[in-house]
Amino acid sequence: MSENQLGEYLRARRGLVTPEQAGLPGGSNRRVSGLRREEVALLAGISADYYLRLERGRDRNPSPQVLQALARVLGLDDVEEQYLLGLTASRPKPRRRPAPERVPQRLHALLATIGVPAFVEGRAFDVLASNELARVFSPRLRPGENRLRSLMLDPQEQAFQPDWPAAAAGFVAAFRESIGDDVDNPRLIELVGELSLASERFRSLWARHDVRALEGGLSCVNHPLVGELRLHREKLPVDGLLLVIYYPDHTQESQDKFRLLASYAATVTA
């Protein structure tokens, strides 16, 4: 991953804003997609030379006011603006070996007793621990699997998602938000490199520099045992890890299908 995260992000987002969205005339003689550097600088109230230095990584510590002005011009939402603010080099960061991600014993005990599909994932979306219900819900939730790799490369996971293109876009955006400016983490570099080589879809989504917060919500999947299944999904941070829990919505159909999954899981462990 590049060390000029700020410049790459500005360049990618600039390419996604049309002149019309920024209140500028479009015209038919434009040779660039999105806004020109000079247009971004003008709308943000900074010099074109200074903006060029930002994109080229020659100034990695712009003021929050400058970044907020750029966020306004680029149409960033709150999550994207916070991500942009986090890419500045306000102080040197020590280069240190990342600590191994370990699941506390109390989480293993919780997974064994919670009675709904649940698993623990790390920062790179590696599955670190899961219960039997989670593995019946999806075999890709076994420890040692990576959820982003499964989504981008595994045909079964792609068929599992009713709207795979939207799921892939959202997941890549959440992954970028999760890693922030941690460009030196060997695990993240390895995963991005692997997916960039293996998946054209990942390459195109990664180049957009979209960011999205990791959130819970309603999850709908095409399950091979019970068909379309709607479950609520909660994502709870615990000791730098993420505990993910699925549980059925209020409809009778979802609850019946969930009970069927639970009974199947019981026969697997019996």
The SS3 of residue 217 is strand
- Is 162's pLDDT higher than 90? yes
Pick 209 or 27 by higher pLDDT. 209
Confirm if 245 and 114 have CB atoms less than 8 A apart.
yes
Region of poorest pLDDT, from 95-99, 184-188, 236-240: 95-99
Most confident range (mean pLDDT) of 80-84, 98-102, 260-264 is: 80-84
Instruction: Quote the pLDDT of residue 91.
Output: 46
Biggest CA–CA distance in the chain, Å, is 69
User: What average pLDDT does the segment 191-198 reach?
Assistant: 93
- Is 149's pLDDT higher than 70? yes
Confirm if 176 and 183 have CB atoms less than 8 A apart.
no
Phi and psi torsions of 229, nearest 5°: -130, 130
Instruction: Quote the pLDDT of residue 92.
Output: 47
Confirm if 236 and 245 have CB atoms less than 8 A apart.
yes
User: 217-223 and 118-121 as β-strands: parallel, antiparallel, unpaired?
Assistant: unpaired
One-letter-per-residue 3-state SS of 106-140: HHHHHHHHCCCCEEEECCCCEEEEECHHHHHHCHH
| % helix, strand, coil for the chain, step of 5 | 50, 15, 40
Reported as type and span, the H/E element at residue 81 is helix 78-85
Angle at 23 between CA 19 and CA 27, to 5 degrees: 40
Number of H helices, E strands in the chain: 13, 5
User: What average pLDDT does the segment 30-58 reach?
Assistant: 89
- Is 95's pLDDT higher than 90? no
pTM for the whole thing?
0.81
